[in-house]
């Protein structure tokens, strides 16, 4: 047998293992090291890029935000949302690169798996997306500048009664955690304000786009005032719009509503004219009229091309950097983990999504939720603001639902 | 005559077989900050080794091997989560039993087919388990997984190290060593020889009266149990498990690892896992957005010019040297 030779291969590999691991960064005084864990490749690459660009836009538009302190950004790819890849990335950022702060985290499993490391290593972790409500309860080192599915879902339930004037609703959702959270949140908000959910329809998984016709026909037969839909942005949302149009549900008097995930700005124009009239609730859309947002959108288009746009993930990256800048300047460049988390508690900021703050108790975000309707203007789809609910907290933790109980 | 002595000699231990293990131990001391990654490599080696037993030795082509990895991973996770059973080694045994049972049950049915039908059915088995884990979210945690699993000390002595993965690394290494010893004994036994026979010439093995299907099912079951152990290690080392353990990506990934290293060779899993994961890790660190390009090009080059994997390159080099020496 030729085993002799491949053993040599083994030894070589071991040597390579050694050589390649010797890339290390020496510590420089008064520099704050920030470890960024995002999916830069694979299915989530588009989202990772949004957050990354949002972070860069913050640095560009606010060059003085970090004061005299230098910030060193070390990026790691979290690859697939298995949790394990992100955890290895975080482990090395902490053990080898000696980062002071951790940020990023698009997928909830990545944040959930890394939470124990943040606690053990005492590294503050600023979550820029991961939306499973109970993540912030996993570690005292976690603070979130993004959202939970309950923010938009619960606010939509309230607005569906108060602004859209609906009495009955059917809920259709993609059968995975954000979908189920969205269903629970909407139902709580809707029924607390006097509405009634008359049917709940799971509509397949997030992997493939199903044929929505049977689900939508079932919803249509129930004759609700509104049909609340949660699906992942992109192809799912486009399929929803097509089916809604094809079944003539608008003519039947059923309004289509949902959380703003389904009208993510980067996917909006691809949804076509069927999307006109869709009502969504979210903490951000690129058409918000406040001056901070106008400045961001203008700079973004200049930097990344006229067809590009920030969306809610981009703004979360922007706000995450703002939060980190606040921590760094407050602590004068010396990051003490407990002091950093305390600096984040109650932090207020004028974001492109309007006024935001961090709830001192839960370390989760408090922000406005905007109700918007899609209209067609100048040949493009546009999100027209038709209502706002201010200072919305994560209702899952406020109500102590399921795992959010603490 | 020469062939016969070669056959008799091959199960004997050779001096260099100690080297991979010494190197692994050396890595423990040389790279204390990279042991989380090292642990993942060891787990992947074990998983690839289990696949090698069916794919490389028995010639059973499967795309659903993550089914057993996932079964083991969830067994340990669910025992810890719902029954508070945190003892790691008994967890490994339970995972091996559960994954082996699933391997036996599915093997009895699936191994009646071969070729593309078998490939599809193994894939379906995995997809069914994945969907079951998704639907039983109250038990499995679904897509979000089971957070914050903790395990008691290994042998009551070594606690799991959340930050530096020291004990996880040594633990995974010890388990890998034990499993490797089993696989090595197996493939050099008459049972292993008959597996190779089945792979090389199915009709002939039938003709000599070998119990072909029994041996295939047995190999499949043992392989499933080993994959289950790898999955259990994965959950224990990370303290976390979610649906990704049952994904096609994991099945296909381990197959790439094995083919890259060289299948049907005891050390193919080692070379493949180390080469693939190290390349991926280093490239992803240097170019977080573009590393897949480098990995892809490498894989294409290996597939085009080294049909027998990395080990095959060394084989042909050795043959060339021997020929020129003659």
With CB atoms and an 8 Å threshold, state whether A18 touches B234: no
Q: How many residues does chain A have?
A: 406
Annotate A140-176 with DSSP letters as a single string. TTEEESS--HHHHHHHHHHHHHHTS--SEEEEEE-SS
Nearest CB among A3, A76, A87 relative to B288 is that of A76
Does A20 contact B278 at a Cβ distance shorter than 8 Å?
A: yes
- In 3-state terms, what secondary structure has residue A76? strand
Distance CA A261, CA A106 (A): 14
Same domain, A253 and A392: yes
Q: Please give the helix or strand (H or E) that residue B22 lies within, else none.
A: helix B19-30
Best to test chain A binding among B163, B168, B272 (most A CBs inside 10 Å) = B163
Say if CB A32 and CB A68 are below 8 A apart: no
Instruction: Please give, rounded to a whole number of angstroms, the shortest distance from the CA of A160 to a CA of chain B.
Output: 29
Domain boundaries, position B62: 18-246
Residue A267 resides in a domain? yes
| B316 found inside a domain | no
Summarised one tens digit per residue, pLDDT across range B76-92 is: 999 998 898 889 999 99
Please check whether residue A340 lies inside any domain of the structure. yes
Q: Do the chains contact at B244 and A76, CB–CB below 8 Å?
A: no
Q: Is residue A190 located within the same domain as residue A164?
A: yes
Compute the CA torsion angle B217, B221, B227, B230 (nearest 10 deg): -160
Q: Check whether residue A399 and residue A303 sit in a common domain.
A: no
pLDDT in tens, A191-210: 999 999 999 999 988 778 88
Distances in whole angstroms, Cα of residue A397 to Cα of each of A53, A82, A283, A369, B75: 30, 25, 18, 17, 30
CA separation for the pair A108, A59 (Å, rounded)? 26
One domain for residues A320 and A304 = yes
**Nearest-CA distance from B281 to chain A in Å?**
9
Residue A10: pLDDT band (50, 70, 90) is low
pLDDT of residue B11: 67
Q: Tally the domains of chain B.
A: 1
Check B162 against A96: CB less than 8 A apart: no
Q: How many CB atoms lie within 10 A of CB A161?
A: 20
**Residue A213 falls within a domain, yes or no?**
yes
CA distances from A353 to A147, A211, B87, B266 (A): 12, 34, 49, 58
What is residue A19's predicted lDDT score, i.e. its pLDDT? 45
Q: Taking 90 as the threshold, does the pLDDT of residue A350 lie above it?
A: yes
Among A40, A41, A82, whose Cβ lies nearest the Cβ of B244?
A: A82
| Of residues A191, A194, A246, A179, the one with CA closest to residue A216 | A246
Which residue in A10, A18, A112 is closest to B240 by CB distance? A112
Closest CA of chain A from B61, distance in Å: 24
User: For the segment A207-252, what is each residue's pLDDT rounded down to a tens digit?
Assistant: 788 899 999 999 999 999 999 999 887 678 888 988 998 999 988 9
Same domain, A245 and A172: yes
At a CB cut-off of 8 Å and minimum separation 6, what does A268 contact? A275, A374, A381, A383
| CB contacts, 8 Å: B281 with chain A | 20
Q: How far is B112 from chain A (nearest CA, A)?
A: 30
Give φ, ψ of B141 to 5 degrees.
Answer: 85, -5
Query: What gap in Å lies between CA B229 and CA B89, rounded to an integer?
Result: 10
Compute the distance between CA of residue B148 and CA of residue A137 in angstroms, rounded to an integer: 11
Mutate to test the interface with B, among A3, A5, A6 (most CBs of B within 10 A): A6
Q: Is the dihedral of CA A85, A87, A89, A95 positive or negative?
A: negative
> Which of A116, A115, A86, A369 has the alpha carbon at shortest distance from A126?
A115
Q: What is residue B86's three-state secondary structure? A: coil
Element (H, E) at A35: strand A31-38
Cα distance between residue B194 and residue B211, in whole Å: 9
A18 to B262: CB separation less than 8 angstroms, yes or no: no
SS3 A357: strand
B206 domain residue, yes or no: yes
Do A272 and A157 lie in a common domain?
yes
DSSP H/E element including A327 = helix A312-330
Q: Which residue is closest to B29 within chain A, CA to CA?
A: A18
* Residue at B326 is within a domain: no
- What per-residue confidence (pLDDT) applies to A22? 39
Per-residue burial over A19-47, b if 16 or more Cβ lie within 10 Å, else e, is ebbeeeeeeeeeebbbbbbbbbbbebbbb
Using the beta-carbon criterion (under 8 Å), do A10 and B20 form an inter-chain contact?
yes
- When scoring B131, B240, B323 by the number of chain A Cβ atoms within 10 A, the one with the most, hence best to mutate, is B240
H helix or E strand, kind and range, residue A251: none
Same domain, A125 and A235: no
- Contact yes or no for B137 and A77 at CB 8 A: no
Nearest C-alpha in A relative to B6: A1
**Which residues in chain A are contacts of B284 at CB distance < 8 A?**
41, 76-77, 79
Buried residues in A208-245 as b, exposed as e (16+ CB within 10 A): ebbebeebbeebbeeebbbbbbbbbbbebbbbbbbbbb
**Chain B closest CA to A91's CA: distance in Å?**
6
Residue A61 in contact with residue A297, Cβ under 8 Å?
Answer: no
Residue A16 located in a structural domain = no
Whole-number average pLDDT of chain A: 89
The answer to whether the CB atoms of A205 and B262 lie below 8 A apart is: no
Edge-to-edge strand ranges of the sheet holding A101-104: A70-77, A31-38, A101-104, A125-127, A142-144
Listed in sequence order, the DSSP H helices in A200-279 are 213-221, 235-246, 265-268
Determine the 3-state secondary structure of B112 from DSSP. coil
- State pLDDT tens for residues A46-97: 899 999 999 999 999 999 999 899 999 999 999 888 888 999 999 999 999 9
- The answer to the question of residue A37 being in a domain is yes
Residue B278 lies in a domain: no
**Alpha-carbon gap, residue A5 to B321, rounded angstroms:** 12
User: Between A and B, how many CB-CB pairs are < 8 A?
Assistant: 184
Contacts of B116 (CB under 8 A, 6+ apart): none
Contact A14 B26 (CB under 8 A): yes
Same-domain pairing of A306 and A253? no
Q: Considering only CB atoms, which chain B residues are within 8 Å of A79?
A: 284
A186, A142: one domain: no
Instruction: Indicate the SS3 state at residue B307.
Output: coil
Q: Which residues contact B91 (CB under 8 A, 6 or more apart)?
A: B75, B76, B79, B80, B85, B151, B232, B236
Using a 10 angstrom Cβ sphere, with 0-12 exposed, 13-18 middle and 19 or more buried, the burial of residue A291 is: exposed
pLDDT confidence bin for A17, thresholds 50/70/90: very low
Q: Which of B142, B144, B249 sits opposite A80 (nearest CB)?
A: B249
A17 to chain B: which residues are within 8 Å by CB? 23, 27, 31, 274, 278
Smallest CA–CA separation between B85 and chain A, in Å? Answer: 20
Give how far B9 is from chain A: nearest CA, Å: 10
The question of ipTM being above 0.90 is answered as: no
**Token digits for A377?**
């203007």
| A111 and A245 share one domain | no
Between A34 and A237, the higher pLDDT residue = A34
Judge if A351 and A374 occupy the same domain: no
Is there a contact between A20 and B270 if contact means CB atoms under 8 Å apart? no
Mention every residue, 6+ apart, whose C-beta is less than 8 A from residue A108. Answer: A81, A130, A131, A132, A135, A177, B143, B144
Q: Which residue of A has its CA nearest to B284?
A: A77
Same domain? For A189 and A107 the reply is no
Contacts of A393 (CB under 8 A, 6+ apart): A151, A359, A362, A364, A366
Rounded Cα gap, residues B155 and B88, in angstroms: 8
Domain extent for A300: 27-147+288-363
Per-residue pLDDT at A341: 96
* Beta-carbon contacts of residue B109 (< 8 Å; ≥ 6 apart): B121
E strand or H helix at B53? none
Does the residue B6 lie in any domain? no
CATH number for the domain including A333? 3.40.50.2300
Which residues pair with residue A197 across a beta bridge? A169
Above 60 in pLDDT, residue A23? no
**Set of chain B residues whose Cβ sits within 8 Å of the Cβ of A49:** 289
Strand partners for A370 = A282, A388
Closest-CA residue in chain B for A45?
A: B289
Of B137, B262, B292, the CB nearest to A41: B292
Give the model's confidence band at A29: pLDDT under 50 very low, under 70 low, under 90 confident, else very high.
Answer: very low
Indicate if the pLDDT at residue A295 is higher than 80. Answer: yes
- Examine residue A2 and state whether it is found in any structural domain, yes or no: no
Whether B244 and A3 lie within 8 Å, measured CB to CB: no
Q: Confidence class of residue A169 from pLDDT cuts 50, 70 and 90?
A: very high
Q: Do B270 and A83 touch (CB under 8 A)?
A: no
Per-residue pLDDT of chain B (326 residues; tens, 9 = 90+): 566 666 666 667 777 788 889 999 999 999 988 999 999 999 999 999 999 999 999 989 999 999 999 999 999 999 998 898 889 999 999 999 999 999 999 999 999 988 899 999 999 999 999 989 988 888 888 888 888 788 888 887 888 888 888 899 999 999 999 999 999 999 988 898 899 998 888 889 889 888 889 999 999 999 999 999 999 999 999 989 999 899 888 999 999 999 899 888 888 999 999 999 999 888 888 888 888 888 889 888 888 888 788 888 888 888 888 888 76
In a domain, A10, yes or no: no
Of B27, B244, B291, the CB nearest to A14: B27
Domains: count for chain A: 2
């Amino acid at each position: 047998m030729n085993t002799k030779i491949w053993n040599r291969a083994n030894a070589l590999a071991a040597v390579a293992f050694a050589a390649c691991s010797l890339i290390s960064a020496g510590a420089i005084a008064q520099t704050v090291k920030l470890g960024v864990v995002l999916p830069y490749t694979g299915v989530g690459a588009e989202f990772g890029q949004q957050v990354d660009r949002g972070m860069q836009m913050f640095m560009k538009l606010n060059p003085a935000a970090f004061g005299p302190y230098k910030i060193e950004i070390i990026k790691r790819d979290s690859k697939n949302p298995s949790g394990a890849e992100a955890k290895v990335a975080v482990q090395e950022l902490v053990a080898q690169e000696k980062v002071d702060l951790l940020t990023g985290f698009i997928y909830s499993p990545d944040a959930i798996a890394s939470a124990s490391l943040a606690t053990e290593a005492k590294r503050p972790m600023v979550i820029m997306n991961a939306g499973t409500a109970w993540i912030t309860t996993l570690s005292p080192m976690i603070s979130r500048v993004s959202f939970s599915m309950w923010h938009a879902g619960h606010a939509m339930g309230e607005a569906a009664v108060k602004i859209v004037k609906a009495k009955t609703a059917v809920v259709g959702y993609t059968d995975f955690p954000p979908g189920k959270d969205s269903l629970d949140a909407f139902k709580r908000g809707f029924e607390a304000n006097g509405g009634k959910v008359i049917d709940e329809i799971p509509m397949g998984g997030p992997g493939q786009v199903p044929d929505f016709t049977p689900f939508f026909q079932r919803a249509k037969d129930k004759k609700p005032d509104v049909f609340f839909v949660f699906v992942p942005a992109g192809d799912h949302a486009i399929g929803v719009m097509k089916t809604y149009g094809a079944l003539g549900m608008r003519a039947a008097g059923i309004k289509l509503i949902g959380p703003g995930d389904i009208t993510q700005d980067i996917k909006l124009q691809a949804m076509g004219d069927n999307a006109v009239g869709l009502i969504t609730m979210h903490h951000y859309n690129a058409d918000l009229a406040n001056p901070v947002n106008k400045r961001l959108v203008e700079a973004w288009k200049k930097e990344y091309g006229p067809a590009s746009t920030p969306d809610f993930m981009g703004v979360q990256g922007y706000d995450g950097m703002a939060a980190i800048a606040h921590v760094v300047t407050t602590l004068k460049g010396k990051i003490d983990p407990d002091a950093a988390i305390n600096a984040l508690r109650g932090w207020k900021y004028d974001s492109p999504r309007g006024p935001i703050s961090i709830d001192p108790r839960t370390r989760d975000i408090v922000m406005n939720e905007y109700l918007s309707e899609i209209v067609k203007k100048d040949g493009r789809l546009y999100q027209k603001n038709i209502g706002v609910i201010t200072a919305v907290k994560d209702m899952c933790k406020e109500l102590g639902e399921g795992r959010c109980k603490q | 005559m020469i062939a016969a002595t070669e056959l008799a000699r091959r199960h004997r231990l050779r001096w260099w077989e100690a080297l991979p293990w010494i190197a692994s131990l050396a890595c423990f001391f040389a790279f204390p900050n990279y042991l989380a990654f090292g642990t993942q490599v060891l787990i992947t080696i074990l998983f690839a080794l289990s696949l090698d037993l069916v794919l490389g030795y028995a010639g059973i082509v499967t795309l659903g091997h993550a089914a057993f990895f996932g079964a083991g991973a969830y067994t340990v996770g669910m025992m810890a989560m719902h029954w508070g059973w945190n003892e790691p080694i008994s967890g490994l045994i339970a995972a091996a039993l559960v994954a082996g049972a699933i391997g036996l049950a599915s093997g009895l049915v699936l191994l009646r087919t071969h070729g593309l039908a078998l490939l599809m059915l193994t894939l379906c088995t995995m997809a069914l388990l994945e969907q079951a884990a998704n639907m039983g979210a109250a038990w499995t945690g679904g897509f979000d997984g089971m957070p914050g699993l903790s395990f008691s000390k290994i042998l009551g002595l070594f606690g799991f190290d959340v930050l530096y993965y020291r004990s996880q690394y040594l633990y995974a290494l010890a388990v890998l060593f034990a499993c490797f010893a089993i696989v090595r004994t197996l493939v050099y036994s008459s049972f292993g020889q008959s597996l190779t026979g089945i792979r090389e010439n199915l009709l002939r093995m039938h003709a000599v009266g070998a119990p072909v299907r029994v041996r295939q099912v047995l190999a499949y079951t043992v392989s499933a149990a080993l994959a289950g152990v790898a999955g259990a290690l994965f959950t224990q080392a990370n303290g976390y498990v979610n649906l990704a353990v049952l994904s096609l990506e994991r099945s296909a990934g381990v197959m790439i690892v094995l083919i890259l290293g060289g299948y049907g060779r005891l050390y193919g899993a080692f070379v493949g896992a180390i080469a693939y994961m190290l390349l991926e890790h280093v490239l992803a660190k240097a170019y977080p957005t573009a590393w897949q390009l480098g990995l892809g090009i490498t894989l294409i080059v290996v597939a085009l010019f080294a049909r027998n994997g990395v080990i095959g390159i060394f084989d042909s080099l050795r043959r060339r040297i021997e020929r020129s020496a003659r």
